[in-house]
Amino acid sequence: MMRALLPSLTFAAFLLGGCVNGQFSVAAAANDADGIATGLAQAVKDLRNGNALSAAQMAKIDAALSDVQATSAALAKAASQTQAQSLATQIAGDVNAIVAAASAIPALPPPVPEVLAAADVMLPVLEADVGIQAPLGAAPGMSVAQARALLAAQAAKFRAGA
């Protein structure tokens, strides 16, 4: 019986990982938001270099990415859990807009599809960081740890100017 409960308990502990003594953690949320924003920035750079999108599609993606980056920076300075929740919800909407615009392209250059999937996996984690209960995202074959690592690698590449 206890073995059957272990995955559920592990999941519950994971969801509460962004909280400290029942309080939200700005640091955890800011870290996850920055990973999403900067990882997506590299993916958008790859999309731009691949000339895979029309000017109108790129404009939509650029606007949403700009919002993700600004909102991610604002989240790092959130003064309350309510403010952090509002900002996390805004980030989720903007990431979904990027995914929707990019999904119009049948053959995205690698690693763009993987980065989009990783961002999608991380959105419920970000929401959990600020106390929003959401089902954990899942991309086929991608865990939260893998998503976080992929976004971190893309963020490092972006920051290095690659």
Cα–Cα distances (Å) from 29 to 18, 106, 119, 144, in that order, read 7, 32, 14, 14
**CB-CB contact of 128 with 134 (8 Å):** yes
Buried b (16+ CB within 10 A) or exposed e, 34-68: bbbbbbbbbbbbbbeeeebbeeeebebbeebbebb
134 vs 28, more confident: 28
Instruction: Please state the rounded mean pLDDT for residues 122-141.
Output: 80
Query: Is residue 140 pLDDT above 80, yes or no?
Result: no
Highest averaged pLDDT of the listed ranges 37-51, 63-77, 90-104:
63-77
Tens-place pLDDT, residues 4-47: 333 333 333 333 344 444 457 889 999 999 999 999 999 999 88
Q: How far is CA 24 from the centre of its chain?
A: 18
Tokens describing residue 86: 């509002």
Cα–Cα distances (Å) from 149 to 5, 36, 56, 152, in that order, read 27, 11, 31, 5
d(CA 95, CA 65): 8
Name residue 148's beta-bridge partners: none
pLDDT at 151: 95
pLDDT at 52: 73
d(CA 42, CA 97): 16
**CB-CB contact of 43 with 15 (8 Å):** no
Name residue 138's beta-bridge partners: none
pLDDT at 160: 93
Collapsing DSSP to helix, strand or coil, 1 comes out as coil
Q: What is the mean pLDDT of the chain?
A: 83
**0.85 exceeded by pTM:** no
